[in-house]
Amino acid sequence: MLAHKHILLIVVTAIQLLCAQAYAQRKSDTLKEVKVKGTHHVSNEVKVNEFSPGQKVKTIDSSTLQQYQLQNMASLLSQQVPVFVKSYGFNGLATLNFRGSSAAQSTVLWNGVPIQNAALGIADVSTLPVLFMSKVNIVYGGSAALWGSGNVGGALLLEHEVPVFDSGKRTLSVSGGGGSFGQYMGGVKGSASFKRWYLSANVFAQSAQNNFSYVDHNGITTKMPNGSLQSGAAMLRAAYKIDANNTVSISGWYQQYGRELPPALFETSSDKKQTDGSLRLLADWNRKTEKNTWYAKSSFIKDEVRYRDDAVMLRSDNNVYQYYQELGWRKQWGRYGQLLLFSPVQLSWLIPPSTNIIRHQDKAALAGAYNIKRFNDRLSVAINARGEQINTQSFLLPGADASFALTEWLVLRANAQRTYRAPTLNELYYFPGGNPDLKPEQGWNEDAGYTLKFKAGRFTFLHDLSVYNRNIHDWIVWLGGAIWTPHNIAEVHSRGVETENNITCTMGKWNFHIGVNTSYTIATTVASYIPNDGSEGKQIPYTPRYNGQANIGFGYKQISVNYNQTYTGYRFVSTDESEYIMPYQTGNLMLMYNLMLHGHSLLLTAQANNIWDQRYEIVNGRPMPGINWLAGFRMTVL
């Protein structure tokens, strides 16, 4: 029955797309440009641009994306964004912690499709190449009505470029680089644009030995063993312009990430190896008229994890599948109002090797958002709600947010959303250790803040502040010794403050910048179902109270230089705060030079990380490398 259900939904989606295409060919309206006034977001996603006025959104600019083009999302976010990236080593798993949330409470979306592992409920951001993305946005705070249940702490939005239909336009770029510890990487990206077709391909590969020096528990300096990495990824896209208003596209993204897992400081050796493979397929249709936008998207994702530990003759193969579809309609009501209605469906399933019984989680929802603007667009208010059903559980997720431009240089904002996260397939059924009696996490998220931005002569000043509060009941945490099992703890209260501060100055061909991002988070257990566990009033493990980055640099003509300093505070390892990891700071120096050669663009980058050779750990027992470097290039044929 489950297989028939999946097939039926896929067939229904295909029929919907075919009907949409037939309708588009039958009727054509003149496309009128609609300018969005007052938004600072650079995103393809209307849910961000028009229906999240009161949420804090951080956009990674194109220059920063170029600097990190040969690295992964974990490196980019840990150095440039006040979000804690929990990394298990130089080539280990890396997950996101937004405002004291757990990794499973963070959402990662690729062109609007969730790409977390359907069994684990998390996305390993160390496997996501920056080179594949043209837009990266971080949405702080939960908005489950827009992004789905499970979006508690925040969302990372990854997007590729919008197809451009321009007959005869071609681009081709070749990238390559190398660095410390046997790092080598390279990529090729090309696109071709025609009157009705747009085609693009992107390929990236890397390898590394990761044999950096570290100090073991006996105080002896040694080389990191069993740490090699090999990975490859490819993304293909094709888009077809049916007429002036209608576009269809398909995308395919496959990657394989093979890595050896080095021993922790409390292990004498390691023979562990893990290979992660992901196949992501996406088809979407968009129709835009003067006052209406229709869209449909359908995605299939297969994640496979192959784990080997020859020391104990352990082999584990896990395949997880996810099908996602979403139909939506946006209507412009006069000049001031907009309505968005959409219906997402997400099916996830796996067959555990230990039982061979299909485990599945089916989500279906009907959601809507209404945005109204007043006072010459100075006031923007959005009200949203989602009715969702997960297997047999039904619930409502309401929310509202607003922004108000008090002056041309001061904007106020506020956001309140109900949050909900159902246990993942692994939390329920993993063997041994799964807990089928887990309750879903649920609660409320509120945040407010302001943005102050103005120019004074050659200087531009930006100051942004956010305060947030979140109460989650039945928070899920893994506890145990030889066998770890997830449990509900009664309530977790998260609250804190974030700031973003930047000053830029332009003097002829020179420009200078200085910026400081800070985050202060208190995430404590209010009550616990486990007697005498010592967690009440204590900080959630691996949630630093203090986190921040500072950037200072300059640009002259085609040259840019930036120094980045990061700080991460104490992280408690145990729920009763009896064990902790010391704070650490890293300094990172980045150089970029862009020049034209015979009509072609050559971009040169160099980066020295941890230049003060700081000894530190992000996760207990997982040493990070000392000073290291990376250099690369990108040649673009225009």
Tell me if residue 123 falls in helix, strand or coil: coil
Cα dihedral value 424, 429, 430, 431, nearest 10: 170
Tokens of 168: 């005869």
Class of domain 2-26+41-390+399-637 (CATH, top level):
mainly beta
| pTM metric for this prediction | 0.91
| Residue-wise pLDDT tens digits, 115-138 | 999 999 999 999 999 999 999 999
Helices then strands, each counted (H, E), the chain? 6, 33
The DSSP string of 203-255 is: EEEEEE----EEE-TTS-EEEPPS--EEEEEEEEEEEEE-SSSEEEEEEEEEE
Tell me if residue 153 falls in helix, strand or coil: coil
Tell me if residue 598 falls in helix, strand or coil: coil
Residue 190: band (very low, low, confident or very high) from pLDDT cuts 50, 70, 90:
very high
Task: Give Dmax (Cα) for the chain.
Answer: 75
> Is pLDDT at 265 greater than 80 in this prediction?
yes
Tell me if residue 283 falls in helix, strand or coil: strand
| Residue-wise pLDDT tens digits, 327-380 | 999 999 877 899 999 999 999 999 877 777 899 999 999 999 999 999 999 999
Residue range 103-109: mean pLDDT, rounded: 95
Q: Are 59 and 42 in contact (CB under 8 A)?
A: yes
| Residue-wise pLDDT tens digits, 422-463 | 999 999 998 888 899 999 999 999 999 999 999 999 999 999
Tokens of 429: 């059924």
Q: Taking the mean position of all CA atoms in its chain, how far away is CA 599?
A: 35
| Cα–Cα distance, 368 to 382 (Å, whole number) | 10
CB proximity list for 369: less than 8 A, separation 6 or greater: 47, 51, 145, 146, 339, 340, 382, 383, 384, 385
Long-range contact list for 535-541, CB < 8 A, 24+ apart?
Answer: 535/489, 535/575, 535/576, 538/572, 538/575, 538/576, 538/577, 539/572, 539/577, 540/100, 540/102, 540/477, 540/492, 540/494, 540/572, 540/575, 541/571, 541/572, 541/573, 541/574, 541/575
| Cα–Cα distance, 153 to 52 (Å, whole number) | 15
The residue count for the chain:
638
Tell me if residue 481 falls in helix, strand or coil: coil
Upper half-sphere CA count for residue 393 (Cβ side, 13 Å): 16
Residue 9: band (very low, low, confident or very high) from pLDDT cuts 50, 70, 90:
very low
% the chain with pLDDT above 70 = 93
For position 597, what pLDDT does the model report? 85
- Residue with more model confidence, 7 or 344: 344
